[in-house]
């Protein structure tokens, strides 16, 4: 995404918290933002930790944040907004009162228009330069291996907390939040390694691979490759990470109804048509006993020692209904499925491999086909696919 196309989610509570911790005017900060790019606003509560405010999402929205939200609505007009509450959840009646207050503020500015794109300050021009400089400074600060020595230049020290201490809150919070997201996406790897080893690794990944996606659910696609680079002599952690990620992402994979063994016409279509594997299916090469280890971790039983397989194998990962599935394929089954994944119709694969070590007898293919149907590995045709030519 180019900077010129960037859209903004503005967390009003974050701006207030940062303004107190860093010593700047939150209203000046918001006015320096390119208003035409603001697409959503968030509200939340926070807690006080000595000299600093921590964005904990476990308190009601405070009066200062409500006031800032009203100013934001007056500045940008009607922007979709939401209230975040992650802990110390109060009675529903209290949440409803907060929601109504937010609605009342938005309604009071329902006819205010956000700045037109042609009238707004440029993304890289004019009065926005100071705002952009502060964002760049913070980004550099949170991504550097050590605390920035020049924090005094853009963070205000006061009371007993110096500038580096104040800036350090965000530096550490950035790493901790992304490490937490990675531990959820790679639950089995984190369990297998233990938090003492996994957390520093996840924080190192967060620094070298800052998020470029809009959802943290998509953050972590490069983590298996990072594991492979970090542990070239220990493939089990890489394969565990890849299996964790593949299973997680099956929920987001394209969907299609599974082929039924009772539909004879569709079965004939599946034999002759390329691309009949279910769109959620991915095939991965494995070299370790990752399946046994993953299953032991999931069942919370004794985990076997990591071992190399005598020969590399193929692991199929897919979604059946709403349930992510995986299993190791037989060598011949994997050969057939790989060919189908490249677009070769099953009938042609069977003719080409028939009588070979991969597919010695038609009954072998028949058994695989029955299992694929039971597992939902073949997609059903759309109505148009069975229409007469």
Separation between Cα atoms, residue 246 and residue 73, nearest integer Å: 41
| pLDDT beyond 50 at 127 | no
Architecture of the CATH domain 255-386: Alpha-Beta Complex (3.90)
pLDDT band at 123 (very low <50, low <70, confident <90, very high): very low
Top pLDDT among 236 and 25 is at: 236
Pairing mode of beta strands 323-329, 308-320: antiparallel
List residues bridging with 326 in a β-sheet: 317
Q: Which residue has the higher pLDDT, 121 or 295?
A: 295
Is 10 strand, coil or helix? strand
pLDDT for the residue numbered 24: 86
Res 95: pLDDT: 92
What digits encode the pLDDT tens for the residues 240-291?
Answer: 999 999 999 998 888 899 998 887 788 889 999 999 999 999 999 999 999 9
Average pLDDT, the chain: 86
For the segment 3-26, the average pLDDT, to the nearest whole number, is 82
pLDDT band with cut points at 50, 70 and 90 for residue 233: very high
Among 54-68, 128-142, 205-219, name the one with the lowest average pLDDT. 128-142
Say what the pTM is. Answer: 0.72
Task: Work out the pLDDT band at 119, boundaries 50, 70, 90.
Answer: very low
Domain boundaries 3-123, corresponding CATH code: 3.20.20.150
Report the pLDDT averaged over residues 72-97.
Answer: 90
Provide the pLDDT for residue 113: 55
- 47 forms bridges with which residues in the sheet? 54
Helix (H, G, I), strand (E, B) or coil at 363: helix
Tell me the CA distances in angstroms from 264 to 261, 268, 344, 380, one per residue in order.
7, 6, 21, 12
Question: Residue 72 — very low, low, confident or very high, per pLDDT cuts 50/70/90?
Answer: very high
Q: Check whether 2 has a pLDDT greater than 70.
A: no
Helix, strand, or coil (residue 166)? helix
Q: Would you list the domain boundaries of the chain?
A: 3-123, 165-250, 255-386
């Amino acid at each position: 995404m180019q900077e010129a196309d960037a859209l903004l989610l503005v967390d009003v509570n974050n701006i207030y918290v940062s303004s107190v911790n860093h010593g700047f005017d939150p209203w000046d900060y918001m006015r320096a933002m390119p208003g035409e790019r603001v697409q959503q606003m968030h509200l939340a509560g926070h807690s006080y930790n000595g000299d600093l405010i921590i964005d904990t999402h476990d308190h009601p929205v405070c009066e200062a944040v409500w006031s800032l939200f009203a100013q934001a609505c007056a500045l940008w007009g009607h922007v979709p907004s939401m209230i975040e509450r992650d802990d110390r959840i109060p009675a529903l009646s209290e949440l409803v009162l907060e929601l109504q207050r937010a609605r009342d503020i938005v309604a009071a500015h329902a006819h205010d228009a956000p700045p037109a794109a042609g009238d707004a300050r440029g993304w890289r021009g004019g009065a926005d330069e100071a705002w952009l400089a502060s964002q760049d400074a913070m980004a550099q600060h949170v991504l550097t291996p050590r605390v920035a020595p020049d924090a005094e230049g853009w963070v205000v020290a006061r009371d007993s907390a110096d500038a580096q201490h104040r800036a350090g809150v965000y530096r550490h919070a950035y790493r901790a939040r992304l490490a937490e997201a990675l531990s959820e996406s790679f639950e089995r790897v984190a369990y297998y390694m233990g938090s003492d080893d996994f957390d520093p690794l996840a924080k190192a990944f967060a620094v070298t691979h800052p998020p470029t996606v809009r959802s943290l659910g998509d953050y972590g696609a490069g983590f298996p490759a990072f594991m492979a680079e970090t542990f070239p002599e220990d493939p089990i952690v890489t394969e565990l990470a890849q299996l964790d990620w593949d299973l997680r992402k099956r929920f987001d994979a394209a969907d299609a109804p599974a082929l039924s063994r009772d539909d004879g016409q569709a079965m004939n279509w599946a034999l002759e048509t390329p691309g009949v594997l279910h769109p959620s299916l991915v095939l991965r090469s494995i070299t370790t006993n990752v399946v046994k280890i993953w299953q032991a971790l999931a069942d919370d039983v004794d985990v076997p020692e990591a071992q190399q397989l005598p020969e590399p194998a193929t692991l199929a990962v897919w979604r059946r209904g709403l349930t992510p599935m995986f299993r190791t394929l037989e060598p011949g089954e994997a050969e057939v499925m790989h060919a189908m994944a490249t677009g070769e119709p099953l009938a042609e694969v069977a003719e080409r491999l028939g009588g070979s070590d991969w597919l010695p007898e038609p009954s072998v293919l028949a058994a695989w086909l029955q299992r694929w149907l039971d597992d939902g590995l073949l997609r059903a045709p759309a109505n148009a696919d069975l229409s007469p030519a």
